[in-house]
């Protein structure tokens, strides 16, 4: 069988047989400036690196001839096991187009991937193409150690810097030191995006004479109506601590400029979490918890259990990310965004190893992921694509979610997730927010504790 897609074991894969020959399209120096996306960006992979040798620039889309010039080659990849359904369609089509390439994918659980991929990338035989994770622990470490190839030239050549999905590239832009992201050179791309919003139980709302909420104001008017009717207003499972932070992030995005949130998450100097908007959002969380809008025992319930209960009809609303939609019956549930510019971003970025000797094939694979055809496959497998042009939803729930994503991407207001800001932020923010919701600490103390964690993380870098 041509494709090798076996489950990963610990450690780095053994050296592949037959080192591929290096061939690449000619890249004139005068074309380099046009290929770079941002003023002042350092040339991607220019000169010598510790492992990669001289890197060529991409000034035109990779051709089958350029990939064929590699000879018989294995494109070694590491991926989250969640990518299996997508890869089942993308890989065979890619190998058919490039018959000299065999795709060998190591699949890992997300936790295992983020724990091991930096070591794998720094080894003597790194994967050519692999997923990282936005934030300092993984992507920041990869950039700082110069283990991944900048993709400014690739993005410019393939038109990713304009049109659908251009704004989603920001979280994969880093300064050269790997100490701040959101601006700088582009080091990764993801074909998959996410949007945060509110799911609603159609039948329950109809029985109470309520219309789907179109804003936070609408929701706040409806919550007491649902509670008075003896129904649980919002289904929440917060034992993993991240679910409540997602509700908080939607509230926070309605109270302040989303750009300020994104800058803070990316580590921009002189930004702060201790804002009036964040305090107000935390106060709202405490108020909703006190009034019973989240029900009881939510800190002992996982997000998976909560969405399962919601799918069975418990609760009027569920605030969460678009990945939850695959578990819901589209005939019974709908989706809306409380604000354009709430939480949500791209999924784990793909990176090309700086040391790869199969760079043309790796670039071609990234290009294959960033097409309307791949976008449709992504949607068909229950997730949302970055490339939404020409993509058709299969049902009303999927259509509503896709429309919400399009509006957020078009506005350029995806802010990302708060826990990207520091390696221990989820623990700190999640735990402190639980204290706020239980009435054991104030919103001001909450925002101060979060900002202190952010500041210490910056100082350590």
Residue 166, both tokens: 């251009």
Residue 173 lies in a domain: yes
- Indicate if the pLDDT at residue 22 is higher than 60: no
118 in the same domain as 151: yes
> Which residue range is the domain that position 205 belongs to?
195-344+415-460
Residue 142 has what pLDDT? 97
124 in the same domain as 271: no
CB 108 within 8 Å of CB 116: yes
- Indicate if the pLDDT at residue 332 is higher than 50: yes
Residue 29 lies in a domain: no
Residue 343 has what pLDDT? 67
- Indicate if the pLDDT at residue 90 is higher than 80: yes
163: domain CATH number is 3.40.190.10
H or E element: which one contains 413? none
- Which is nearest to 203 in space by CA: 228, 237, 226? 226
Residue 34 lies in a domain: no
**For residues 69 and 77, what is the distance between their CA atoms, to the nearest angstrom?**
20
Share of the chain above pLDDT 70, in %: 87
Q: Give the model's confidence band at 341: pLDDT under 50 very low, under 70 low, under 90 confident, else very high.
A: low
228 in the same domain as 149: no
- Indicate if the pLDDT at residue 202 is higher than 80: yes
**For residues 28 and 37, what is the distance between their CA atoms, to the nearest angstrom?**
17
72 in the same domain as 208: no
H or E element: which one contains 129? strand 129-131
280 in the same domain as 203: yes
Q: Which residue has the higher pLDDT, 20 or 321?
A: 321
pLDDT digits over 166-176, tens only?
888 989 999 98
Q: Give the model's confidence band at 23: pLDDT under 50 very low, under 70 low, under 90 confident, else very high.
A: very low
**For residues 242 and 95, what is the distance between their CA atoms, to the nearest angstrom?**
39
Out of 405, 425, 445, pick the residue that ends a domain: 405
**For residues 359 and 336, what is the distance between their CA atoms, to the nearest angstrom?**
41
Residue 87 lies in a domain: yes
Report the range of poorest mean pLDDT among 92-106, 270-284, 401-415: 401-415
- Indicate if the pLDDT at residue 28 is higher than 70: no
Residue 255 lies in a domain: yes
Share of the chain above pLDDT 90, in %: 76
148 in the same domain as 220: no
Residue 153 has what pLDDT? 96
Out of 374, 405, 436, pick the residue that ends a domain: 405
Residue 45 lies in a domain: no
- Indicate if the pLDDT at residue 38 is higher than 80: no
Q: At which residue do the structure tokens 């509670």 appear?
A: 227
176 in the same domain as 73: yes
Residue 30 lies in a domain: no
- Please give the tally of structural domains in the chain: 2
- Indicate if the pLDDT at residue 210 is higher than 70: yes
**For residues 357 and 19, what is the distance between their CA atoms, to the nearest angstrom?**
8
Q: What is the mean pLDDT of residues 307-328?
A: 95
453 in the same domain as 319: yes
384 in the same domain as 241: no
- Indicate if the pLDDT at residue 32 is higher than 80: no
132 in the same domain as 263: no
Average pLDDT, the chain: 87
- Indicate if the pLDDT at residue 303 is higher than 50: yes
296 in the same domain as 170: no
Residue 138 lies in a domain: yes
- Indicate if the pLDDT at residue 25 is higher than 50: no
321 in the same domain as 205: yes
């Amino acid at each position: 069988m041509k494709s090798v897609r076996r489950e990963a074991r610990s450690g780095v894969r053994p050296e592949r047989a037959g080192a591929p020959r290096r061939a690449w399209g000619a890249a004139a120096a005068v074309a380099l400036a046009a290929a770079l996306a941002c003023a002042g960006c350092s040339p991607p992979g220019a000169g010598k690196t510790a492992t990669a040798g001289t890197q060529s620039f991409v000034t035109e889309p990779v051709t089958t001839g350029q990939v064929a010039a590699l000879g018989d080659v294995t494109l070694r990849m590491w991926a989250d096991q969640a990518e299996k359904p997508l890869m089942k369609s993308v890989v065979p089509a890619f190998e058919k187009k490039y018959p000299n390439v065999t795709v060998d994918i190591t699949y890992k659980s997300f936790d295992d991937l983020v724990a091991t991929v930096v070591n794998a990338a720094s080894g003597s035989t790194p994967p050519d193409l692999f997923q990282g994770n936005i934030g300092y622990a993984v992507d920041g470490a990869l950039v700082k150690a110069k283990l991944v190839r900048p993709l400014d030239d690739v993005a410019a050549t393939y038109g990713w810097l304009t049109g659908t999905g251009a704004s989603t590239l920001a979280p994969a832009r880093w300064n050269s030191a790997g100490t701040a992201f959101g601006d700088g050179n582009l080091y990764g791309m993801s074909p998959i995006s996410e949007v945060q919003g509110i799911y609603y139980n159609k039948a329950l709302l109809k029985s109470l004479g309520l219309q789907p909420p179109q804003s936070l104001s609408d929701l706040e008017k409806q919550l007491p109506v649902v509670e008075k009717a003896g129904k649980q207003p919002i289904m929440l499972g917060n034992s993993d601590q991240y679910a409540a932070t997602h509700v908080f992030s939607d509230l926070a995005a309605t109270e302040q400029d989303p750009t300020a949130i994104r800058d803070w998450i990316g580590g921009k100097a002189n930004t702060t979490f201790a804002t009036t908007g964040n305090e107000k959002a935390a106060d709202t969380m405490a108020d909703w918890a006190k009034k019973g809008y989240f029900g009881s025992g939510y800190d002992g319930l996982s997000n998976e259990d909560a969405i399962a209960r919601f799918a069975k009809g418990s609760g009027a609303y569920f605030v969460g990310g678009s990945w939850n939609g695959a578990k819901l019956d589209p005939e019974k549930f709908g989706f809306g965004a409380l604000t354009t510019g709430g939480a949500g971003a791209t999924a784990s970025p793909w990176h090309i190893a700086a040391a790869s000797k199969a760079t043309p094939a790796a670039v071609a694979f990234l290009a294959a992921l960033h097409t309307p055809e791949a976008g449709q496959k992504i949607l068909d497998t229950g997730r949302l694509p970055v490339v939404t042009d020409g993509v058709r939803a299969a049902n009303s729930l999927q259509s509503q979610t896709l429309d919400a994503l399009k509006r957020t991407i078009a506005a350029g207001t995806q802010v990302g997730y708060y826990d990207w800001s520091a390696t221990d932020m989820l623990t700190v923010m999640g735990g402190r927010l639980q204290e706020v919701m239980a009435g054991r600490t104030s919103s001001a103390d909450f925002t101060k504790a979060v900002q202190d964690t952010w500041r210490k993380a910056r100082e350590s870098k």
